[in-house]
Structure 1
């Protein structure tokens, strides 16, 4: 961690929410180096968690950089599905709006981030995390694949060592810990654990015990059992497992984006003269690189909504993959195509950089 603070300076920040993270803040202070701390405020945290944040700021004399979800997206989610839809259809969609997208915005201003992940914290998803890695999902300030370094300094530290460290250093802790809460998230999705239960059993207790992640560490999730090569049914809102269950909600959801059907994109591709040029992403909702560029693509659609460029998406996995490979230049996910106004053949975006500025430069060069 000291190396991270030294190497990246002000372009690295500690992601803060719980006990492991305040231990990292304590260590960062002991190094004597300047450090930054950011946290995600979902709007649904316990009052005790907000009091904890305040105590940490005062104890260390720092200002935590809070990241908030987009109010319009939260409003749309609640209006369409209610306040507690995650109890029925899973927590991924709510977490994506309230946590993943704000995190993506935070990380785009960094070269590296520091997390409090431990291997024994969630054996089903975190047992193989390294101390240092290239983030497999999110992008940093330079944009594109492999543009962000992720440090997990306590990956090999056991939970009991963290809990011995905290009182020894007399640092603030969340008062919920004294009430049986170990792993703490949003209030509706967190409960105390019973003696003998693993700490992660207090999170999303109504779901599969092997998938206790909210999307912040999506790269931990293994894709075993997912139809990655087009033998799924390609319908609905999720990726199909071999047992037929659905684990991934659809992505690129925005009122500024047109969702194209097979017939819709076939018609678009056949037009020799279009009223407006189109930008279309060929995607699969389970693809981590598609998920990583979701925020950028939605922001781009927002920027282009007053222009004469239509922005769309076409889900190209499952039964549609063969068609997309043969007719739409699909090589890997995501593939981004620009359909010019007066040209039959679409132009394929050639870069791995999928930040807003890079995508906008591509559009502006062709429209």
Structure 2
């Protein structure tokens, strides 16, 4: 039978909007060359990969799926159980448009785009290009930048859609603020605040869906997102049916580089958050977001007072690997028989690798033959990786200047020593050891381009 319902789904365009969707509507033109229904499925499917679509949706009281209560079991078509790991392999080389089209075709009104107010406006543009109805939701934590709220309004008007906003429970926010204050996360980490303002609202939102679409990219956070697949069974959250495997997570731009996303946005002339023009790349809540400087990784603008391993708010907690058989050294790097599984960095003949004994001797010398510049680093840290090119370039420039350039790996067993004796705060920390002084001078800026580093050296040598 034909099913007519009214909701906030829009057939998006810049000039028109429709909030009525009928199941008997004609099929939109073929966009993607890959269709989920045409992809062969693998033989064995384990319980964590299975989905059943025969249950009627269970609407939660503040779900973002207001139309779910009007659909009965007889109106929900049965589909075969899917092996999403195989689907991820089949779509690995597909374009974002193809992946988006496959997601919207398969889940229809039961899938929604998670929009943060940053560059994932690209997801909305891809959805528009498929010609299919789509839904957008966002989490309003109550602490977003004014520019982000204005951006939300601009996006709604540009695409003729209504973003479905989710808010934290007032009683939970009040409890946190009254007991710990407005800025407790600067002292004990952002996880608790994010859990109240973001994770729990998201959990409620997803309980009304069967799938969601995110703007995760592999190059956003090398420490946590480098292996994000284009589609997966959500490892953390549950969908409308409840239980493990009840929610599917689509990441259409997982394989797209950040600069390619921006090329796409400029080409399509879509709205962008004005904060981007001020140096903000990754945008979240105002107290926990800042602009990044030259030489910094984009994720360094988020929760900058914490280690790189904590750069997830909980919305994508499944990205953080927790291998029971791997011993973590406290810095987010897994060790096997004491050997780190990541390759070393700053590898050039002009950068001297200092051992524990070497750095101790350097700190004890009161009259050095030449000054030293040393970076305290961890090779797994994305922010150390981001400054590798500028530091190596600096070492090359200083090769004949009489200034020695070195590196000291300060993670693992050396971390406590580095904190106690070298003033390590976070990675990377850059220290200058003057020629006639035993006391090192810490580089105070987070601007890590080669010119800024060179200015620091020239001012002290």
Query: Is the structural similarity TM-score above 0.5?
Result: yes
Q: Is the 8 A contact 1:115 1:151 kept in 2?
A: yes
Q: Could you list the structure 1 runs, at least 4 aligned residues long, displaced by more than 3 angstroms after superposition.
A: 224-228, 241-245
SS of match in other structure, 1:9: helix
Question: Are residues 1:204 and 2:303 paired?
Answer: yes
Q: How does 1:152-163 map to 2 (within 5 A)?
A: 152-163=251-262
Partner of 1:128: 227
Give 1:20 deviation, angstroms.
3.7
Partner of 1:189: 288
SS of match in other structure, 1:122: coil
Q: Is the 8 A contact 1:28 1:35 kept in 2?
A: yes
Question: Are residues 1:180 and 2:298 paired?
Answer: no
Query: C-alpha separation between the residues in 2 aligned to 1:227 and 1:99?
Result: 29
> CA offsets per residue over residues 286-332 of structure 1, 9 Å max, x none?
xxxxxxxxxxxxxxxxxxxxxxxxxxxxxxxxxxxxxxxxxxxxxxx
Give 1:209 deviation, angstroms.
1.5
Match among 28, 33, 38 for residue 132 of structure 2: 33
Give 1:18 deviation, angstroms.
3.7
TM-score normalized by the length of structure 2: 0.49
Query: C-alpha separation between the residues in 1 aligned to 2:189 and 2:326?
Result: 20
Q: Is the 8 A contact 2:224 2:319 kept in 1?
A: yes
Partner of 1:319: none
Query: C-alpha separation between the residues in 2 aligned to 1:77 and 1:139?
Result: 25
> CA offsets per residue over residues 170-202 of structure 1, 9 Å max, x none?
100000000000000000000000011110000
Q: Is the 8 A contact 1:117 1:155 kept in 2?
A: yes
Instruction: Using the TM superposition, name which of 147-156 and 208-217 deviates more.
Output: 208-217
Query: C-alpha separation between the residues in 2 aligned to 1:202 and 1:226?
Result: 32
Q: How does 1:134-149 map to 2 (within 5 A)?
A: 134-149=233-248
Query: C-alpha separation between the residues in 1 aligned to 2:298 and 2:325?
Result: 27
Q: Is the 8 A contact 1:14 1:21 kept in 2?
A: no
**How much is the aligned-residue C-alpha RMSD, in angstroms?**
1.8
Structure ranking higher in helix proportion: 1
> CA offsets per residue over residues 93-139 of structure 1, 9 Å max, x none?
00000000000011000000000000000000000010000000000
Give 1:74 deviation, angstroms.
0.1
Give 1:226 deviation, angstroms.
9.2
Q: How does 1:1-367 map to 2 (within 5 A)?
A: 1-224=100-323, 243=330
Name structure 1 gaps, 5 residues minimum: 229-240, 246-367
Give 1:81 deviation, angstroms.
0.2
SS of match in other structure, 1:156: coil
Query: How has the CA–CA distance of structure 1 residues 85 and 226 changed in structure 2, closer, same or farther, with 3 Å as cutoff?
Result: farther
User: Number of residue pairs matched?
Assistant: 233
Instruction: Using the TM superposition, name which of 49-58 and 208-217 deviates more.
Output: 208-217
Query: C-alpha separation between the residues in 1 aligned to 2:207 and 2:119?
Result: 23
TM-score normalized by the length of structure 1: 0.62
Query: C-alpha separation between the residues in 1 aligned to 2:244 and 2:138?
Result: 24
> CA offsets per residue over residues 200-231 of structure 1, 9 Å max, x none?
00000000012210000000011257999xxx
Query: C-alpha separation between the residues in 1 aligned to 2:294 and 2:263?
Result: 19
Query: C-alpha separation between the residues in 1 aligned to 2:325 and 2:197?
Result: 26
Partner of 2:398: none
Larger radius of gyration: 2
Query: C-alpha separation between the residues in 1 aligned to 2:249 and 2:119?
Result: 16
Query: C-alpha separation between the residues in 2 aligned to 1:155 and 1:21?
Result: 11
Name structure 2 gaps, 5 residues minimum: 1-99, 333-461
> CA offsets per residue over residues 51-105 of structure 1, 9 Å max, x none?
0000000000000000000000000000000000000000000000000000001
Give 1:167 deviation, angstroms.
1.1
Query: C-alpha separation between the residues in 2 aligned to 1:244 and 1:19?
Result: 28
Query: C-alpha separation between the residues in 1 aligned to 2:331 and 2:222?
Result: 24
